[in-house]
């Protein structure tokens, strides 16, 4: 718009209105809404969908490893299912018995005329090793 | 009207109003935010018997802007005397000249002019916002326009439809 200095008369109403319209204000920034209305807390059931918690790295690694092992061990469909079951059963045990038997052999007694009375009685006590 | 509806309907106008009062976008943003936060936090303070939500929000914004104005211009009178005419400059944009001329108005005239001229408020609505009677507002508006007529006389458009040149 071409303007030129003009000293003298005042502006008319319409001239002043036209001039005032030339001054425009910038629009309000969009961030104003977020500043006035911060995000409201969600209901509990909706928060469950986005719940999160912090896990230390070693724990997370151990869990991941455990899951991987479990997945690896998991029987695949169609594979025979190995069932290991432990049962206690009564088994008859044959125990050998060692029986010591003393067999006496009969011997004929010597003739009576061959027996003589002893001149001196000398008893001797014989003990087993346990009694000693 | 809920605070959200009020925000949707009036936040641009409140922002423009404060921007024109302060000539600073950062202040306009802060004051607009504070204005709506006040309404969001305590909507019960709004008394529908004393005016509309619109005038209530603008009165909050005006109060905050005037506080800032007083902080910035401690020694300047709110309803001062004559201002010097804005001299045209080679690179001077007309919008800047208008902004300066309006900014140079006394604060009470300035706010009435902005609300009337740019936001389309009626005299009664302006009276609600500035806590004055409509007659006082009319008087301020008249004086503001008189000053601007002189201050911006040098910017008369060449060959305008009224043919005043």
pLDDT tens readout for residues A65-99: 999 999 888 766 666 666 788 888 888 888 888 88
The number of angstroms, rounded, from the C-alpha of A109 to the middle of its chain's C-alpha atoms is 87
User: With 0-12 CB in 10 A as exposed, 13-18 as middle and 19+ as buried, what is A101?
Assistant: exposed
Q: Is the pLDDT of residue A49 over 50?
A: yes
Mean pLDDT across B137-154: 93
Residue ending a domain, among B42, B75, B108, is B75
- Using CB atoms, pick whichever of B19, B20, B160 lies closest to residue A15: B160
Say if residue B67 is in the same domain as residue B6: yes
In a shared domain, residues B124 and B55:
no
Asked if residue B107 and residue B59 are part of one domain, the reply reads: no
Average pLDDT of the segment spanning A106-119: 76
**Is A40 near chain B, with CB under 8 Å?**
no
Distance from CA of B37 to the nearest CA of A (A): 6
Of B19, B36, B152, the CB nearest to A26: B19
Nearest CA among B20, B106, B153, B86 for reference residue A16? B153
pLDDT of residue B20: 93
Domain boundary at B75, B107, B134, which? B75
Q: What is the pLDDT of residue B165?
A: 32
> Is residue B164 situated within a structural domain?
no
Domain that holds residue B43: 1-75
Pick from B6, B109, B105: nearest CA to B60 = B6
Residues in A touching B145 (Cβ below 8 Å): 13, 16
For residue A43 the two structure tokens come to: 């209901």
Last residue of a domain, one of B38, B59, B75: B75
Q: Do the domain assignments include residue B165?
A: no
Whether the per-residue pLDDT at A45 is higher than 80: the answer is no
| pTM, rounded to two decimals | 0.61
Q: How many independent structural domains does chain B possess?
A: 2
Asked if A12 and B154 come within 8 Å (Cβ–Cβ), the reply is: no
Which tens digit of pLDDT belongs to each residue from B58-92? 999 999 998 887 777 665 555 554 444 555 554 45
Q: Give the pair of three-digit tokens for residue B99.
A: 């902004």
In Å, how far are A20, A100, B110 from B18, measured between CA atoms?
A: 16, 123, 11
Query: Within an 8 Å CB–CB cutoff, is residue A29 touching chain B?
Result: yes
Nearest CB partner across the interface for A27, out of B12, B146, B158: B12
């Amino acid at each position: 718009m071409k303007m030129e200095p003009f000293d003298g008369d005042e502006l008319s109403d319409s001239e002043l209105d036209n001039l005032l319209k030339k001054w425009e204000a910038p629009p309000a920034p969009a961030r104003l809404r977020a500043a006035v209305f911060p995000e409201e807390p969600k209901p509990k059931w909706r928060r469950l969908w986005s719940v999160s918690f912090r896990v230390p790295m070693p724990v997370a690694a151990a869990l991941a490893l455990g899951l991987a092992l479990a997945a690896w061990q998991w029987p695949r469909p169609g594979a025979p299912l190995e069932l290991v079951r432990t049962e206690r059963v009564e088994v008859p045990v044959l125990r050998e018995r060692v029986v010591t038997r003393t067999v006496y052999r009969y011997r004929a007694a010597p003739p009576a005329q061959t027996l003589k009375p002893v001149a001196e009685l000398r008893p001797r006590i014989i003990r087993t090793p346990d009694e000693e | 009207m809920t605070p959200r509806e009020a925000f949707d309907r009036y936040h641009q106008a409140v922002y423009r109003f404060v921007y024109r009062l302060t000539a600073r976008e950062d202040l306009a943003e802060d004051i607009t935010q504070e204005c709506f936060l006040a309404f969001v936090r305590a909507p019960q303070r709004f008394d529908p018997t004393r005016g509309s939500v619109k005038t209530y929000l603008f009165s909050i914004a005006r109060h905050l802007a005037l506080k800032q104005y007083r902080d910035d211009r401690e020694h300047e009178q709110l309803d001062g005397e004559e201002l010097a005419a804005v001299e045209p400059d080679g690179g001077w944009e007309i919008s800047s000249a208008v902004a300066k001329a309006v900014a140079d108005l006394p604060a009470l005239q300035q706010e009435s002019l902005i609300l009337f001229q740019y936001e389309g408020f009626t005299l009664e609505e302006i009276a609600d916002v500035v806590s004055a009677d409509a007659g006082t507002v009319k008087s301020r508006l008249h004086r503001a326009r008189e000053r601007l007529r002189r201050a911006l006389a040098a910017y008369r458009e060449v060959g305008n439809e009224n043919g005043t040149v």
